[in-house]
Amino acid sequence: MNTPKKQAEKLLDKAGITINGKNDYDPQIHNEKLYQRVLSGGSLALGEAYMDSWWDVKNLDGLFYKILAARVQENFNFSWPVLLTYLKFKVFNLETPSKSFEVGQKHYDIGNNVYGAMLDKRLTYTCGYWKTAKNLEEAQEAKLDLVCKKIGLKKGDTILDIGCGWGSFLKFAAEKYGAKGVGVTVSKEQVKLGNKLCVGLPIEIKLQDYRDLTGKFDHIVSLGMFEHVGVKNYNTYFKKAHELLKDDGLFLLHTIGANTSSGGIDPWIEKYIFPNGMLPSAAHISKSIEGLFVMEDWHNFGADYDKTLMAWFENFNAAWPKLKSKYSEKFYRMWKYYLLTCAAGFRARNTQLWQIVLSKRGVRGRYTSVR
């Protein structure tokens, strides 16, 4: 009889995974109802069951790396949550101006103490650049400097940071390059702390939707925000960036990218971590910049996000004894699942990290790529 458990065993066997096995990546099942739950609810149910302690595994990222590397998910039929998430992004605009602040409230406003414990000292919540870096601090400093070099930042230049977080890039650009700028975010907590961190510098951080921005800037950067824009708004987003950028300026887009243009994100991530988010494909971006920008450079260092996420988890896990008085065990399992399953996705190269440099009219002579 082909029971749900037998189906699960057969699928996992393709990745060399044994249910209740002895390897650190073998899942240990605590509730036999898990198989039917996952069969009915797909990846959403799998994540929720982990949060409910229905199953455990010593090496969570190792388990998911093996699953993704073996492409086990391609043999799994669409579940209703997956199908509904896909249809939501196809039918509805989930990132209207009124909805754009939802991710700020649900994700970025959970508490600066979590992010302060997890991130580097500058609170940089985007992928680090590990080319020569030995630790998270070095990787984030290298990434921020890489962005400055790619846009040719000079003293006195004005920068717009769309989705500025706690202002880490703007602060770095002001301190190291003598630049000044404006940042916008949809998180109230980021605005409060970000402006405190940037006191005394020519920087302003505002709670604002990118569609309401006005002015002209020498350069624009957007680091890890484009994942919240949504395919139905890509053209609006790039038109606004085109309007705000001076004719001889550069726009650097730093975004997680998908290998296909299927739309949407994993239903568990969408429900618990990044509501209304979606990952763009290369085709989405190239089509949306047509007639607006010249693509000067496209740099993929997605494998570095694996290292970044693992460093974040190490920090979060070490700080948990101090954090757990304010957060539940279920939150800990949710956050662990988020960080480690995402690390596995980048390790398996299922997801990418792109830095794309755009100009309005093409850089005269040539643009020199920076690595």
Question: What φ, ψ does residue 366 adopt, rounded to 5°?
Answer: -170, 155
Tell the burial category of 19 from Cβ atoms under 10 Å away from its Cβ (0-12, 13-18, 19+): middle
Q: Are 255 and 226 a contacting pair, CB within 8 Å?
A: yes
> Angle CA(228)–CA(229)–CA(232) in degrees, nearest 5?
135
**Helix (H, G, I), strand (E, B), or coil: what is residue 59?**
coil
Name the catalytic one among 148, 164, 198, 342: 342
Q: Report the distance separating Cα 78 and Cα 40, nearest Å.
A: 10
* Rounded CA separation 178/155 (Å): 4
16 contacts: CB under 8 Å, gap ≥ 6: 66, 70
| CA neighbor of 7 nearest in space, from 58, 96, 75, 85 | 75
Cα distances (Å, whole numbers) of residue 173 to 45, 205, 360: 43, 14, 22
148 belongs to the catalytic site = no
What secondary structure does DSSP assign to 342-359, as a single string? HHHHHHTTSEEEEEEEEE
List CB contacts of 348: < 8 A, sequence separation 6 or more.
Answer: 64, 65, 68, 69
- CA–CA dist 264, 78 (Å, integer): 14
198 CB contacts (<8 Å, ≥6 apart)? 167, 170, 171, 174, 205
* Angstrom distance (rounded) from CA 98 to CA 95: 8
Task: Give catalytic residue positions.
Answer: 342
